[in-house]
């Protein structure tokens, strides 16, 4: 997904797990860790387009690196902020990183989550790379918590309401994907066209 979406989702993770301990800094850390896997963008000017296609969404998006490094970041967060336990810090980093990787799997570009053991790209094809109906509610939710909501309970309600929306929207996208796949399979069958694989991509 695009960087704004990843930052907004990370901010929600920070609001959810670190707000009581760190206030607005929890969301700030969420934005940081929500965009961290995409720092592989810095190599783009130095490699050709084919190398870039092979490299982006690879090691920095892998389950192996995520599970290996999250405890380290959690430990560093605990050292930096005494109110954050290492366990909570690790859970926060793991949640933020894993949701980043998960929504990158939603679009047709694909994500190499099994690197370094496999370069297979996982792609679910249920959502476009840029989807305002997915992104804007998260941006608004972060804005409300950061600037308008002082009461912790109100912010918690905003975060959970936003989470409910993006969850339901994601579920709806999979339902629509299934309906589209069934439609094209039926039409191809009617036309006596045999297929091995059908790729349906959202727009």
- CA dihedral sign of residues 97, 7, 14, 103: negative
Full-model pTM? 0.90
DSSP for 100-134, please give it: HHHHHTTSTT-B-TTTTT--PPB----S-SS-HHH
pLDDT over 90 percentage in the chain: 73
d(CA 191, CA 138): 43
Model pLDDT for residues 11-40, shown as the tens digit of each residue = 999 999 999 999 999 999 999 999 999 887
Region of residue 125 (left: phi > 0; alpha: psi -120 to 50; beta: else): left
5 vs 48, residue with greater confidence: 5
Model pLDDT for residues 147-166, shown as the tens digit of each residue = 887 677 888 899 999 999 99
Where do the domains of the chain lie? 3-190
Model pLDDT for residues 107-156, shown as the tens digit of each residue = 988 899 999 999 999 999 999 999 999 999 999 999 999 888 767 788 88
- pLDDT band at 189; cut points 50, 70, 90: very high
CA 127 to chain centre: 12
């Amino acid at each position: 997904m695009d960087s704004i979406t990843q930052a907004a989702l990370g901010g929600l993770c920070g609001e959810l797990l670190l707000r009581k301990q760190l206030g607005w800094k929890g969301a700030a850390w969420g934005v940081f860790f929500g965009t961290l896997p995409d720092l592989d963008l810095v190599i783009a000017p130095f490699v050709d387009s084919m190398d870039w296609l092979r490299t982006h969404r690879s090691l920095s998006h892998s389950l192996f690196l995520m599970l290996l490094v999250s405890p380290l970041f959690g430990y560093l967060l605990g050292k930096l902020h005494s109110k954050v336990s290492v366990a909570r810090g690790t859970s926060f980093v793991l949640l933020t990183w894993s949701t980043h990787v998960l929504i990158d799997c939603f679009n047709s570009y694909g994500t190499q989550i099994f690197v370094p053991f496999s370069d297979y790209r996982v792609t679910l094809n249920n959502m476009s790379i840029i989807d305002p109906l997915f992104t804007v509610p998260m941006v608004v939710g972060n804005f409300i918590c950061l600037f308008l909501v002082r009461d912790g309970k109100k912010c918690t309600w905003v975060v959970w309401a936003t989470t409910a929306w993006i969850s339901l929207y994601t579920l709806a996208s999979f339902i629509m994907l299934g309906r589209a796949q069934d439609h094209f399979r039926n039409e191809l069958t009617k036309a006596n066209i045999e297929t091995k694989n059908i790729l349906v991509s959202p727009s």
